[in-house]
């Protein structure tokens, strides 16, 4: 279900990273349906091609550019931005959806895993945003939405690396938001809890394994602790991101929108 019109993002150009993940995938489709032109990026070219087709089905007038990029690589980041602008004009919206889960309790945490999680979830996100921001400053307008997590708002056992990266992303969101709004650029974040995506399901399964429970048993346990009684869908997260990209959210600045079914308030 959507409350948005087919021209809510008309003539806008939205760059979405992590577009082959569950949340990024649905966000791209939602933005296309709202009239946006898109640049979508991820590491799975086949899935990007499939998404491009689905977006163009949603809106035949939407120009969808796909670009396979390694966001840890400075040259790839710059090439992505240059290709996006060449194909679709100035970037007016950025959705930082790329990210990975993982980590362990601190006594078992591997340095290489820690650096990988921080690099993709935080450092490369900041550096890509910096480069896009320089382009947005030329037009004095735009919107940035960072995909953080409930883990960016509260810590849980065995989650120090991932939570640390997502806490960092929230700090970045708030600081950057104060700087960017002076130039008409809005910056916000979404903080989902468990979402019915591969990453979310894998996380539930890993937690179940530690407790000796099957995926189904662990899912029931997780949902029992959520007031709404269920985990979120990627479409619900995508609709929240879409809202933050539109002018309907014109005076929402530096917020971290929780999507948790009431589990964190």
Which residues, other chains included, contact 172 with Cβ-Cβ below 8 Å and sequence gap of 6+?
A: 122, 125, 126, 146
Positive/negative CA dihedral, 88, 91, 97, 99: positive
Q: Is 152 helix (H, G, I), strand (E, B) or coil?
A: helix
CA dihedral 30, 88, 59, 33 (to 10 degrees): 20
User: Is 194 one of the annotated active-site residues of the chain?
Assistant: no
Structure tokens at 73: 């690589």
- Per annotation, catalytic residue among 25, 133, 162, 194: 162
Q: Is 79 helix (H, G, I), strand (E, B) or coil?
A: helix
- At which residue do the structure tokens 């601190």 appear? 106
Q: Where are the alpha helices (DSSP H) in the chain?
A: 22-33, 45-58, 74-88, 111-118, 124-136, 160-180, 198-211, 215-224, 234-245
Look at the chain and count its residues.
265
Which residues, other chains included, contact 231 with Cβ-Cβ below 8 Å and sequence gap of 6+?
A: 193, 194, 195, 196, 200, 219, 222, 223, 261
Structure tokens at 82: 């240059």
Catalytic residues: 162
């Amino acid at each position: 279900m959507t409350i948005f019109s087919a021209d809510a993002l008309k003539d806008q150009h939205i760059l979405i990273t992590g577009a082959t993940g569950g949340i990024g995938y649905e966000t791209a489709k939602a933005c296309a349906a709202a009239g946006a032109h898109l640049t979508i990026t991820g590491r799975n070219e086949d899935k990007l091609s499939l998404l491009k087709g689905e977006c163009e089905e949603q809106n035949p007038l939407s120009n969808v550019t796909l670009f396979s990029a390694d966001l840890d690589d400075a040259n790839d980041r710059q090439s992505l931005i240059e290709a996006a602008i060449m194909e679709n004009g100035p970037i007016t919206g950025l959705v930082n959806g790329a990210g990975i889960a993982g980590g362990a309790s601190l006594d078992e945490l591997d340095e290489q895993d820690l650096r990988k999680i921080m690099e993709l979830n935080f450092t490369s996100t900041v550096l890509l945003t910096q480069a896009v921001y320089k382009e947005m400053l030329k037009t004095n307008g735009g919107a940035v939405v960072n995909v953080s997590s409930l883990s960016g708002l509260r810590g849980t056992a065995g989650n120090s690396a991932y939570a640390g990266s997502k806490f960092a992303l929230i700090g970045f969101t708030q600081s950057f938001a104060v700087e960017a709004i002076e130039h008409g650029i809005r910056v916000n974040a979404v903080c989902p809890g468990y979402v019915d995506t591969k990453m979310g399901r894998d996380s539930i399964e890993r937690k179940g394994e530690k407790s000796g429970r099957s995926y189904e048993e662990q899912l029931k346990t997780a949902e029992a602790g959520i007031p709404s009684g269920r985990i979120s869908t990627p479409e619900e997260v995508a609709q929240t991101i879409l809202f933050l990209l539109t002018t309907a959210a014109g005076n929402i600045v530096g917020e971290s929108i929780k999507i948790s079914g009431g589990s964190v308030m």
